[in-house]
Amino acid sequence: MDRGQSQGKRKRVEEESTKGASTSSLISPVAITQGDNQYDVFLSFRGSDTRKNFTDHLYHRLVNAGTMPCFVFKDDSSIPIGEEFGSQILGAISRSKISIPIISKNYATSKWCLRELIHMMDCKNSMSHTVLPIFYKVKPSYVRHLKGNFGNAFRSQKHFEEKDIREGRHALDAVSYLNGWESKKFANGHEGKLIERVVKTVIRKLQVGFQLIVPKQLAGLDGRMKEIMNWIDNPSTNARMIGICGMEIMNLIGNPSTYARMIGIYGMGGIGKTTLAKCIYNQLLNKFEHVSFLPDVQETTRCHGITYLQSLLLLDILNEKTKVSRIDYGINIIKSRFRQIKVLVLLDDIDNKNQLDALARERNWFMEGSLIIVTTRNKAVLDQSEFEVDYKYELNGLDLEQALLLFNRHAFRTDQSPNDFEGISRDIISTMGGLPLTLEVVGAYLYGKMNRDVWEEVLEELKNQPHEDVQKTLRISYDGLREGHKQIFLDIACFFIGKHSTLPMYMWKDCGLSPSQGVEELKLRCLIKIDDYGLFRMHDQLRDLGRSIFCEKHQLEKGSRPWDYGYKGASKLLRVELGLGDRASWFCDLMRASRTSKDDKLVSELRYLQWRVMGSDLSLPIIDLPLPNLSVLELWGSGFTEDWEGWSLFAVRLARKRHPLSDLRVFVFCLADQTPLTAYSPFRVRHQSGLKFSTFVFVGI
């Protein structure tokens, strides 16, 4: 499979009306079923004119362009045998974002090329569909008036239906007026340069659909955006820039447009640094072909290590999966590959100079014109950077009117407070120091509560703590949750940030926590978010609040805690990774020790177990371990296939009465290489062993 292209046999259309005509499409990276594909780009061309030269080069350049993975559709290799040619092609146009008709000398001699063009223009007029024509060695005026060889070729076709001729003429006339490219005039006929321009135009238009998600209820960002964007858009006027923080002078030598630049946005947690940086990133997307957003660098480093972040950066920019085993190795790849690529990179929540050094230590790692945006709570990270940050922006709280607007949008879902609540709304706002996160969370907590006594109590609580004590303010919303929903909040904060929201729902349901209601309430109170990919997201201040409460409840001290990278100990959720030669003996020893211990806390707490196999050893020592309250067993690894011998092992062992895993509710299989796995094997295990669990979840990673 070449970037998603099917390897199966496909039919070639041999009819005279379609011979030589061809189309191809780039599929956007969305999980979809065959026959309902959503495409990025639809290419329409006359095969006899351009199939093996211009179109072929453009096709492959588009497939490998930018940072977005693209799958490819071609009529002669991707239409399943037996499926109707016409409906497939016209349907593909309707489901595309952009169409590119490559109008060549014999384009109008194909009935299907004309029908494709007619349908493109109809889609352009009736929906948000973009048409970018390329006039390949023909003049737009010849297409418009059917003159020269182009017109002669069109008139020579006697087998066309009257409807095709009439609508085809109209479509050719309309497309000739669109902004496109004339191959002979662009770059003096250099087709390579034309292809590069087409690809850049396409990628920039598609990038708009990949913007980062920002809250809808924004307030007070316009002026800040304008200030930073003015600096970005006018580099020649900033050779000597006066910094915002303390009016410190930043001496820049030469024209900043001739080298990579770095912008640092800093301020306290919850002030809106990430939101501002995302808005800037979104506004710049159409100027860059290669982009990367690394969220929560601090937390990701703690959970996975800095090499994991380096791997993500390389994957985003190069569209290549690179396993980085050492920090120095990752640095060397970034230095060698990024010097030839203009990139836009957003590094969110850097809290340590070592993180910045591993990802963007020096200016000469990057091609001229590249832009690195960094957010941090710690200004020292920017001051100590070897990159020499070009622009440092200190983000402060909202003023009273901006704060009131943001609060109203969450507390009342309008821009205005009801008259009898305006005074107390201003009083509440005055206690929060213009911090957007607290305004959002407290406002969401008060939404729908029209009893004024409740508002007075909240105001009194807020008055008893300083502006800077953000967590105490946020805890007001946490304390208002039902007990079960509090537990869900703590579980997400400690274990499931960045994890798919579906899987822990099984555990919570097994614990009787009404998870659907709980998750919905947490979303309404702005305590969590679920992104477009179904992953749990949480602001770092709320995450820290949850983990602080967890530590209080479990009397944990600083050190190794369940969410820390490499944690080895008892927990509600455990992630066990088996590398080559590693049998995770620490985990097995821990579980076996609990058998002889009077205190069964080690096993009674564990409800969710992730078992990751990175090597070839697929043995499961967990099969005989005492895990009486385990709700979810999640297996990761490319070796768990239909033929895995472990299925029979499960069937034999779990058939025993009172087996440690006999009450297991959910089996989750996360297959790293998308190995097809039917329901046959796991269901065979259930039927043969008489297990109680009723749910199997299959996740392709």
The pLDDT tens digits of the residues spanning 85-141 come to: 577 788 888 888 899 999 999 999 998 899 999 999 999 998 889 999 999 999 999
What pLDDT is attached to residue 206?
81
CA proximity to 264, closest of 397, 378, 367: 378
pLDDT band for position 310 (cuts 50, 70, 90)? very high
pLDDT band for position 330 (cuts 50, 70, 90)? very high
Cβ neighbours of residue 301 closer than 8 Å, sequence gap 6 or more: 309, 352, 355
Least confident piece of the model among 152-156, 207-211, 271-275, 485-489? 207-211
CA proximity to 635, closest of 576, 573, 694: 576
Q: What does the pLDDT average to over 597-618?
A: 66
What pLDDT is attached to residue 638?
61
Task: Reply yes or no on whether the pLDDT at 8 is more than 60.
Answer: no
Q: What does the pLDDT average to over 609-614?
A: 71
In the chain, % of residues over pLDDT 70: 70
pLDDT band for position 367 (cuts 50, 70, 90)? very high
Q: Residues 253, 254, 257, 262: what is their CA dihedral angle, to the nearest 10 degrees?
A: -10
The predicted model scores a pTM of 0.67
Q: What is the DSSP letter of 390?
A: S
Q: What is the DSSP letter of 519?
A: H
Q: What does the pLDDT average to over 263-280?
A: 92
For the chain, the average pLDDT equals 78
Task: Reply yes or no on whether the pLDDT at 598 is more than 80.
Answer: no
Task: Reply yes or no on whether the pLDDT at 530 is more than 70.
Answer: yes
Rounded distance between C-alpha atoms, residue 417 and residue 406, angstroms: 11
- The residues annotated with a catalytic role in the active site are 116
What pLDDT is attached to residue 428?
93
Least confident piece of the model among 12-16, 167-171, 420-424, 682-686? 12-16
Give 195-221 as a DSSP string: HHHHHHHHHHHHHGGGPPP--SS--S-
pLDDT band for position 541 (cuts 50, 70, 90)? confident
Q: 252 and 390 in contact (C-beta within 8 Å)?
A: yes
Least confident piece of the model among 120-124, 160-164, 214-218? 214-218
Rounded distance between C-alpha atoms, residue 405 and residue 398, angstroms: 10
pLDDT band for position 609 (cuts 50, 70, 90)? confident
Rounded distance between C-alpha atoms, residue 435 and residue 454, angstroms: 22
Task: Reply yes or no on whether the pLDDT at 697 is more than 80.
Answer: no
pLDDT band for position 10 (cuts 50, 70, 90)? very low
CA proximity to 57, closest of 147, 224, 190: 190
Query: What is the per-residue pLDDT across 644-688, written as a single tens digit (0 to 9) for each?
Result: 666 666 666 555 555 555 555 555 555 444 444 444 344 444 434
- The two tokens of residue 559 are 């050190």
Task: Reply yes or no on whether the pLDDT at 242 is more than 50.
Answer: no
What pLDDT is attached to residue 309?
96
What pLDDT is attached to residue 616?
58
Query: For residue 546, how many C-alpha atoms fall within 13 Å in the half-sphere facing its CB?
Result: 24
Question: Which residue stretches of 339-398 are H helix?
Answer: 353-360, 379-383
What pLDDT is attached to residue 516?
93
Tokens 């259309």 belong to which residue? 13
